Chain A
Amino acid sequence: MKKLIQLKINGETAEVAVEPRTTLLHVLREDLGLTGTKEGCGIGDCGACTVLLDGKPVASCLTLAVEVRDREVLTIEGLSKDGELHPLQRAFIDHFAVQCGFCTPGMILSAKALLDRNPHPVEEEVRQALSGNLCRCTGYVKIVEAVLAAAEYMQSQ
């Protein structure tokens, strides 16, 4: 049976009818058209489906939409402000940290959660924070550089 639930996504309230078995990932992509969040493995391994739930990275493929009621979801679509890219998004472009782009939304959200908690991370902390996000293209080096550069830029602002 479908239930009507309210979710707070990227600062806005959305009302969706979900079955208990509907994942947050499915609601985002299929009901709300927020296809920035990707589905890779579907079982918690790859991190492509990462979103921030109350500020913390979670795997939306293993999150029941009914359990997200009244909590705050941030997806990659919610990062830019007034058409301005977030410094992390900018840094990913400038440092060639994006190849196919499939892992990028999840990577950026994991990186944002890190920088929110720890604005001056060292390389090892960046690697730890991104350890739940797989990338099959870049070899990670450029991604780590981009996150460190974004941190530096955000400090200088």
Chain B
Amino acid sequence: MIYLKSLPTFEYFSPQSLKEACSFLKAHENGAKIVAGGTDLLIDMKYRKVTPRYLVGLRTLPELSRVTFGDQEGLRIGAMVTHQEIMDGPIINEKFKSIALACSQVGTPQIRNMGTVGGNVCNAAPSADSVPPLMAYSATVTIAGAESDRVLPLEEMFIGPGENCLKAGEILAEIRVPVAPPHTGAVYVRLPARTGKDIAAVGVAVLITLDPTSGACNDVKIVLGAVAPTPIRSRKAEAALNGEKPGEDLINRAALLSADEAKPISDVRSSLDYRTEMVRVLTGQALNQALAIARAS
């Protein structure tokens, strides 16, 4: 596919409030788009895949660039917070390490300084690295609208590749991540493992909360990235582990169930067969790592 190095023509709108941004988007329904870091959108525009009449920039709204934490309300990440800010955030590194790790694996230093977590979510790529660990933590999204706001589980944001559930005039304002109970381990593993220019061919996030007395799983979340039209929960594998004491056989069985639930495609990055096998391998690794963290905590 060819692209042009110059962008198509558009008008730039800089709103004074989130409400004003929503109203503007609503008034220009199909002609206006949010630009956050631009690392997905401006490329799509250079390819002329999208040619919006208006871009609405959110840099004038500092409330969207904040990260806050409270023991009760948990972690709140503004949609405009960059991957680099997440990976450098002390609280996120201390209490939500798998999220920090996922963001540290996005693209290159330049892309991490520009790309936002809100853009990563809204772009709705099946391979979006920040999404599996956020979903494993049962994150919710706060969506601002021209008339009213709504809150949804993050996993309900995604409809298909590149397609999110936002309606005309809606903007993702914030991602909220509840604090996990004690004895929880959360990890994100992806292939290729090294950061660089490669987007994930397979990503697996796991969160396990153990019962400290029995050692059984109180809560298990397994989220697969890049192996289905959207990031997906691996519910059969979760069900196999919930309430059980996880030993080697059970972990192997859960990993097989995850591989079975994945619906990957073959593309330039990997074949279907390879992806399926890697879901099994990575799920096993992620479960073992998460268990080790949960047991040590």
Contact = CB atoms under 8 A, between A and B. Distances in A.
A87 interface: no
B67 to A, nearest CB: 17
A80 interface: no
A50 interface: yes
Interface of B: 3, 5-12, 14, 35, 38-39, 42-43, 46, 55, 57, 59, 84, 107-111, 113-114, 195-197
Most buried by A among B3, B42, B197: B42
A21 B110 contact: no
A115 to B, nearest CB: 13
A110 interface: yes
Q: List the 3 shortest-distance A-B pairs measured between CB atoms, nearest first.
A: A132-B108, A20-B12, A42-B5
A51 B197 CA distance: 18
A44 to B, nearest CB: 6
Contacts of A39: 5
Task: Name A's interface SS.
Answer: mixed
Nearest to A3: B12
Interface residues of A, number: 31
A20 to B, nearest CB: 4
A148 to B, nearest CB: 18
B84 A56 contact: yes
Interface in A129-150: 129, 131-133
Contacts of A131: 108-109, 195-196
Given A42-B3, A42-B46, A131-B195, A66 B12 contact: yes
A59 B113 CA distance: 9
Interface in A8-39: 19-21, 23, 26, 39
B110 A20 contact: no
8 contacts: A19-B9, A43-B46, A57-B109, A58-B113, A61-B5, A67-B57, A110-B109, A132-B109
B77 to A, nearest CB: 19
Nearest to A51: B110
Nearest to A49: B110
A116 B107 CA distance: 21
Contact of B114 (A26, A45, A58, A113): A58
A4 interface: no
A62 interface: yes
Contacts of B46: 42-43
A45 B197 contact: yes
Given A42-B3, A43-B43, A62-B114, A21 B9 contact: yes
B205 to A, nearest CB: 22
B253 to A, nearest CB: 37
Interface string A61-77: 11110110000000000
B31 to A, nearest CB: 14
Nearest to A47: B110
A156 interface: no
